[in-house]
Each structure stands twice: as C-alpha cells, then as structure tokens.
Amino acid sequence: MGAPDRVRPAAAAGALTMPSSKKVSSRAALEAYEVFQQAKDGDPMRHGGNVMAPDPELAMHYARELFGRRNESTRLWVVRRTDIAVLEDPDLLDPPLDRSFKKPGGYVMRDKLAAARARAGTEKPAARATGHDRTGGRRPKATS
Amino acid sequence: MTISAAASPAAGALEPRTRGALAELLFTMADDEFVSGFTDSEWTGIAPLLEEDVAISSISQDELGHARALYQLLVDVLADGRDEDVLAYDREPDEYRHARLLDHPRGDWADTIARRFFYELADEARLASIGAAYRPLAELVEKLRREERYHRMHVLAWLDRLANGGEEPRRRLEDALLAQGVDAPTVFTPLEGEAALLEAGILTRSMAAAEAAWRADLTTAMVPLGLALPPSIEPPADGRRDHSDAFDWLWSEFTMVRRSEDGVTW
Amino acid sequence: MTDPLALDPVLPLRQRSERPWNEEALSHDERFAHFEAHVTGGGKIEATDWMPDEYRNAVLRFVEMHANSELMGVLPEREWLMRAPTLRRKLALTAKVQDEVGHAQLLYRVAEDLGKPREAMLEDLIAGKTKFHNVFHYPTRSWGDIGIIAWLVDAAAIVAQQALRDSSYGPYARTMQKICWEESVHIMHGRDVVVTLMTGSASQRELVQEALNRWWGPLMQMHGPRGDRDKDRDLHWRIKAKTSEELRQEFLTIYVPRLWELGLVIPDPNLRLDETTKVWAYTEPSWDELRSVVTGHGPKSQERLEFRRMNREETAWVRRTVFGLQPPPVH
C-alpha cells in the first residue's frame, strides 16, 4: 500500500523549501520544537507555536517563555518537530465510500416516528428529557 | 538612618537594634536584585537569539519584582514615610548597598552569564540563611526561592553550553569568570548588625557561613566543567560601598525622569 | 499484484482530495486554479501546502516586514527602559518590550517555515533590503513619547492586526490572534501612562502634548496611502482583509475622541468627522515623507540599523558556536 508514503515527518514537507535562488547554508544546531499547551487543569493540549533551540533543555526554557511567562499554562509539551509524524492523506482521513452509519446524521427518524405515532394514535410527549441519542429536550415555550 | 516608632506590628515587635539590622539586610538584598535586574534588562531586544532575549527579559523582570517586594518590606520596617519607589530611586549613588560584583556592567554574553552564575548561587545561599523569626521576610523568601529555581536552571544550562561550546565560548567564559571572580565574594560582605539578626533568629547562619555553602555549590557546578574556582578571598568590609563609574552611569539613567520634576506622579 | 493506487487516476480528483492543489499529478495551472478558488473562497493554507510562488512570496514579504517592525520597534522604547520613573512602570515597559521581541520571534518563525532562514532575514533588514514600519524610524525625546507610542502606535498596529486574524495563511492568522491578545495589554499600559501625565503637573501635560504634536504625522502615515481595492494582490489572496483607508478610519473613530476627552489638541486643523457619512476628513498625510522614511531616510533609520548591526556582530560568536548558525554568504 502507498499509505506509508503519505505519513511523513512534518519537517520534510514544505517547511524548508526555498522560494528563490538564494540558497543559505545554515546547517543549524538550531531545530524547531513544537509547543503544546494546557491552559488549566483538565483542558486539552493545544498547539501554540514553535521555538528554535539547539537542544531539548533550552527548548523547554524557550517554550516556558512563549507559554508560561504570564502564568497562562499548567502544562507544556515540547516536541522536536522531526519527531512528529503527520497524517494528511485524504484517502485515509476522508475515504469516499458511505460511512454515515458511523455518525448521528445517518439516522434520520422524523418521518418514521410520525408514522409510528399516527399508527399508535399518540401525540408527541409534551415535556421531554434529553435522550442519550441527543434527541428530545425542551423546546422554548411560546408565551402563554 | 532614623527608625520611626510607627511601624507594622511585625516590625514594631522588633527591638530597635534588630530592626536597624533588618533594614540593613533588606537594603542589601533589595539593592542587589534591583541593580542586577536593571543590568540584565539591558539585554532586552539585543540578546544573541530572539528566544533567549525573551528568557533573559523574564529573568530581569523577576529580579525587579523581587526588588520591589523587598523594598515593600523595607517600607514597613523603616516606617519613615518613604514608599518603595522613593527607596528604590531617590538615593544618592553612594547610598546604595548592592554588592560590588553587581557594579560590573552588562559586558558581553559571557560576562553576563559569569556574573549571573556567581550572583544566583550566592543569592541562593543567602536566601537559605533566612530564618522564620521575621514572618513577612520568611514568607517572601519562600516565594523568591521558588522563582529562583528557574534562574538557576537557566544559568547552569548556559554555563555548560559556554564551557562545552568550543574554544571561543570557553575562553570567553573563563576570562569573564576570572574578571568577576575577584568581586564575587562581595555578596557576603559582613553585615552591620549581623549578630543581632542571628540572635533574633532572622538569620540562621552568618554571611561567612553562607559564603562557605556558596563555595561548595560553586565547586559542584564548576569542577565537572573543568572551570577554575574564584580565589578564596575575604570579602572586603567596603564590598557594598564605593560603587563604580558604571553604576554612576546606571544611576543617572534610572533617575533621569524622576529627577526632572519633584513631587509628581508618573 | 496490481498496485491499488494505480486505480486512482480513474477517480475524479475532486472527489478524492479536499486539497487538490497538492496533487502532483495536476498541471501547475490546474493547481493554481484550485489554490486560488480555495483561498478566495475563505479557505486556509498551511505551511505544508503547495503554494504558487506569487502567494508564497507575498506572504513571506508581508510577514517579514511585520517581523522586522516588531524587532526594530523595540529600539525606540528600549532607550527609556533604563529611565522608567517607578518600579511598576519599569516592569510594565520591560514586559511590553519583551512582548515585542516575542512577537518578532513568532513572526520570524512563520516566515522561516515559508522557506527563508532567520539569519538571512536579519541580514537583509540590516542591509536595508527589507523594510519596517515608518513609526520606528523616529526618535523618542521624552517620557511623554513613551506614553504616546505605547498607546497610539500599538493601537494603530492592533487595528491592522485584528484584521489579520482571519488571514488566509493559517500560521500567520493564528499568530495574529496571540499577538492581538498581548497587544491589548500594551495599549492599556500606554493609556495609563498618558492619563497619569494628563492628571499631573502642567509640565507633565506639556510633555504629552508635545509628543503628540510630533507623532501625529507618522501615525497618520502608518497604515499607508489609499489604494485600489481591486488592484491589491494582498487583498486578493486574503493575506489581509482591509484596505489602508479602512484601517485609518477605524483608528480615528476609536482614538480621536479618547484624545480629545483628555483635553489634548490634535495637530491637524482639518481633522473632522462628517456626521452623516461617519467618515473622518483630515489633512492629506505626506506620502513623500513616508516613502523617504521607509526606504531608510528617517531621522533614526540608519542609527538604529547600525545599532542592530553592531549588536549582531557582538553576539555573533554565540550564534556561531552554541547555536551552530553559519552566517549566510554575502551577495
């Protein structure tokens, strides 16, 4: 399968292409480190930006400056960019065949429910609790 | 200096002799942080790498923040109507009590790292000498020590990178350590009234004992890197007086706007 | 065994890929067309996308000038860092200048990921090959300047920056969101300095008025001359979203009343709001002055570039050794 070709290090694709003829030989000890930040306890890690650093220890110092000097984070992840594998392949992430059975939108029941109520001679219940399928729940009442 | 009778409960509870000695201690600590912070802040905008620029700027702001907190303690201890800005800014150059080590100008990056290395480790030894007897200081010191951890990490990371970064960084570092090493012990200049502070439990050990601890710390950091320790000399009695031309220039800068007009708010 | 991917060309590409400009099998023109449709339709581009040279170069130039401006913008205020008259002001000003360095870092990073190394950008800046905003070519003469700059220059900048938060180039848009948040604190600091002076002594108020007299001209020039919306390629590519005039009007609408309410006089007798159109009329700024200044002929242009050059020389040894950066070859 061709899939492994589509999973590539973030650094290789596009990050260092030269727009013009000016080739610059900065064979750097400096590398990019991506910084992920958790604002407060329980929050998800969010990508915030990146720093250049010669090694993981200084990368951590600089990440702290970027995302910690204002007491805005409870946790930081500092990752060397070349250690990140990127998946962007639409064949894997957005394959073309129908997969609606995996999502709520694949189960539209309005007409069927109406038919079932009609057969049973019942009305829609007035006050409804939200079900675990996320249907139901209160509608805003009209002014009485 | 005159100590007025009206002070905060904690300060008021102290014997006058102790209170005078405490004020002297606080001046040395506050002035050290103030001058160090000012000098380090000169790197803002011109450090060797942008990322490092932001880092050193944070460190200088921390130091100024520590100075401010220490001056605020002094306001209570002196209780003579001076606020923290008056204490920080409105003295003549020869009234400042910072260590001569901190009279050294910013210099190049190696000079700054050398000065910071000596000073950070000395400050750590000093903070570890503060006892529980004067609560406001003891509580502040707990916070200061937590913030200083980052400074220690940063300066040791740089000591290592310069020492191991090749011939040129190492040479520059060694030169800087040599030039500043002579003045490094001035952080431990004997304090006036130290005996009173020890008696009261505001200090748990003398400046001489703190200096010994500092040397042990220096050894742990420098020997593995093959760096020569500074000469083991007694800090001179005037180690916190008789400041240099470099400080005179700094003073004229930081007082410039304030001196332009009296009795106004900025 | 048949390679499953060999079947792909049979499927319509649009059906298979959400980012068709990245498809190497397509011709350049086809990729360009897909790219243009995506961007002009409000889509975002990431660092790893294929981009036509025109777009890549336009974004790079735009971001590079912005980064340069943040870096040079440090210098006028840096002089007064040492002179701040209270502990709180010193802390606030140091933090503000630090933020500007941080912004330079963020923006140079965005530009680096587009393909131009940082060292090359710094060399070009110092050599005068790339530009930075006009306001940073002028001197700061007093503490009054510090208040005026921190408030009004940052305000004019934030007006532009807010409009960039939806830039088509993803990394830049996200950086703008972070920068705008940080700049809002600077504006508050600046305004606080100005308002404190305006409630102080007569000579303190005079400091502010005098500073405003000198800074108003450059501020009015800052967003640039009026341009043709249809001809602006940066607007076409949605790198930016508003025209110079729109930004200038927005700035005037917010800040002129705030200056007037302090009793300050704005040194433009023609400055007036048309109550019906809600458009500000003003004396035409000197576009000649703007052009001259941004090409390096401002009062402080050469001195500040020289300062940067000297400083880079002094610190080059650190980059060469600890950071392993080789200086770019001289052209």
A53 has a chain B CB within 8 A of its CB? yes
Flag whether the ipTM exceeds 0.85. Answer: yes
Which residues fall within 8 angstroms of residue B38, CB to CB, at 6 or more apart? B60, B64, B250, B254, C82
Mean pLDDT of all residues in B123-132: 97
Q: Is B58 on the interface with C (CB under 8 A)?
A: yes
Question: Chain C contacts of A7, Cβ < 8 Å?
Answer: none
The token pair at B130 is 């503060």
Which chain A residues touch B162 with a CB distance below 8 Å? none
- Give chain C positions within 8 Å (CB) of A39: none
Instruction: Output Rg (C-alpha) for chain A, integer angstroms.
Output: 26
Output the CA–CA distances (angstroms, integers) from residue C114 to A41, A47, C45, in the order listed. 34, 19, 12
3-class SS of residue A37: strand
The string of pLDDT tens digits covering residues C298-315 is 999 999 999 999 999 999
In chain B, how many domains are there? 1
CB contacts < 8 A, B to C, total 125
Q: Identify the CA nearest to C221 among candidates C144, C139, C163, C284.
A: C284
- Mutation target to probe the B interface, by most B beta carbons within 10 A, among A51, A61, A67, A69 is A61
Q: For position A5, what pLDDT does the model report?
A: 36
A40 close contact with B: CB closer than 8 A: no
Element (H, E) at A31: strand A31-38
Interface test mutation site (partner B, options A64, A66, A70, A76, max chain B beta carbons within 10 A): A64
Edge-first strand listing for the sheet containing A31-38? A46-53, A31-38, A75-80
Show the CA angle centred on residue B110, arms to residues B104 and B115, nearest 5°.
40
C47 contacts in chain A (CB < 8 Å): 14-15
Flag whether residue B165 sits within 8 Å of chain C, measured between CB atoms. Answer: yes
Closest Cα in chain A, distance from residue C17 (Å): 6
The span from the CA of A52 to the CA of A48, in Å, is 14
- Whether pTM > 0.80 for this model: the answer is yes
Domain ranges of chain A: 94-120
Contact B44 C75 (CB under 8 A): no
pLDDT for position A127: 65
**Touching subunits for chain C (3+ Cβ pairs under 8 A):** A, B
Q: What is the reported pLDDT for A26? A: 33
In angstroms, the CA C47 to CA C24 distance is: 17
Would an 8 Å CB–CB cutoff place B47 in contact with chain C? yes
Residues 6+ apart with CB under 8 A from B37: B60, B61, B62, B63, B64, B66, B67
A92, pLDDT greater than 60: yes
* pLDDT above 60 (res A111): yes
Query: Is residue C2 very low, low, confident or very high in pLDDT (cuts 50, 70, 90)?
Result: very low
Where is pLDDT greater, at C289 or B1?
Answer: C289
Distance between CA B45 and CA C99 in Å, rounded? 10
Residue corresponding to tokens 């400091």: C207
Chain A partners within 8 Å of B153 (Cβ):
61
Does B191 reside within a domain? no
CA-based nearest distance A81→chain B, Å: 17
CATH of residue B91: 1.20.1260.10
Confidence of residue B114 (pLDDT cuts 50, 70, 90): very high
More confident residue, B109 or A123: B109
CA A94 – CA A6 distance, rounded (Å): 14
| Interchain pair C324, A25: CB under 8 A | no
Least trusted range by pLDDT, from B5-14, B181-190, C176-185, C270-279: B5-14
Of A52, A57, A62, nearest to B55 by CB-CB distance is A62
pLDDT class for C331, splitting at 50, 70, 90? Answer: low
Residue that has been written with the tokens 């243009």 in this structure:
C36
B58 within 8 A of A65, measured Cβ to Cβ = yes
Q: Which residue has the higher pLDDT, A10 or C93?
A: C93
Closest chain A residue to C101, measured at CA: A66
A window 71-130, beta carbon within 8 A of B: none
Give the minimum alpha-carbon distance from A14 to chain B in angstroms, rounded to a whole number.
Answer: 23
CA-nearest residue to C329 within chain A is: A24
Q: Would residue B86 count as lying in a domain?
A: yes
Structure tokens at C53: 């040279």
Average pLDDT for chain B: 93
pLDDT of B173 over the 90 cut: yes
Confidence of residue B100 (pLDDT cuts 50, 70, 90): very high
- Kindly state the average pLDDT of the residues C105-118: 93
B262 belongs to a structural domain? no
The share of chain B scoring above pLDDT 70, in percent, equals 97
- Give the closest of B51, B58, B150 to A53, CB-based: B51
B255 versus B9: the higher-pLDDT residue is B255
Residue B253: pLDDT over 50:
yes
For residues C52-67, average pLDDT = 96
CB pair distance less than 8 Å for B54 and A62: yes
- The mean per-residue pLDDT over the stretch B50-54 comes to 93
**B54-64 pLDDT tens trace:** 999 999 999 99
Residue A2 has pLDDT above 50, yes or no: no
- pLDDT value of residue C4: 42
- Give pLDDT tens digits for A5-54: 333 444 433 333 323 333 333 334 899 999 999 998 888 899 988 999 99
What local confidence, expressed as pLDDT, does residue A25 receive?
A: 30
- As a whole number, mean pLDDT of residues C27-38 equals 95
Q: Is the predicted pLDDT of residue B178 greater than 60, yes or no?
A: yes
pLDDT band at B11 (very low <50, low <70, confident <90, very high): confident
pLDDT at residue A129 greater than cutoff 90: no
Distance CA A106, CA A88 (A): 25
Residue C38 has pLDDT above 50, yes or no: yes
* Whether the Cβ atoms of residue B173 and residue B110 lie closer than 8 Å to each other: yes
Annotate chain C with three-state secondary structure.
CCCHHHHHHHCCHHHHCCCHHHCCCCCHHHHHHHHHHHHHCCCCECCCCCCCHHHHHHHHHHHHHHHHHHHHHHHHHHHHHCCCCCHHHHHHHHHHHHHHHHHHHHHHHHHHHCCCCHHHHHHHHHCCCCCCCHHHHCCCCCHHHHHHHHHHHHHHHHHHHHHCCCCCEHHHHHHHHHHHHHHHHHHHHHHHHHHHHHCCCHHHHHHHHHHHHHHHHHHHHHCCCCCCHHHCHHHHCCCCCCCHHHHHHHHHHHHHHHHHCCCCCCCCCCCEEECCCCEEECCCCCHHHHHHHHHHHCCCHHHHHHHHHHHHHHHHHHHHHCCCCCCCCCC
Q: Which residues does chain A have within 8 Å of residue B161's beta carbon, measured at their own beta carbons?
A: 54, 58
Confidence check: pLDDT of C255 > 70: yes
pLDDT of residue A134: 64
Interface test with B, best of C68, C75, C91 (most B CBs within 10 A): C91
Asked if C3's CB is within 8 angstroms of A24's CB, the reply is no
Interchain proximity B154–A61, CB inside 8 Å = yes
> Is there a contact between A19 and C54 (Cβ–Cβ < 8 Å)?
no
CA nearest B7: which of B67, B88, B74, B66? B74
What pLDDT, on a 0 to 100 scale, did the predictor assign at position C13?
A: 46
Nearest CB among B50, B53, B261 relative to C203 is that of: B261
- Among A52, A57, A69, the residue with its CB nearest the CB of B51 is A52
For residue B55, the chain A residues in CB contact (below 8 A) are: 61-62, 65
- Domain C55-221+242-321, CATH number (from 3.30.420.40, 3.40.50.720, 3.40.50.2000, 1.20.1260.10): 1.20.1260.10
Residue C159 CB contacts under 8 Å (≥ 6 apart), including other chains:
C223, C247, C250, C251, C254
Q: What letter does residue A53 receive in the DSSP assignment?
A: E
CA distance B34 to C87: 9
CB-based burial label for A97 (10 Å; 0-12, 13-18, 19+) = exposed
Residue C32: what pLDDT? 96
Summarised one tens digit per residue, pLDDT across range B24-42 is 999 999 999 999 999 999 9
- pLDDT at residue B115 greater than cutoff 90: yes
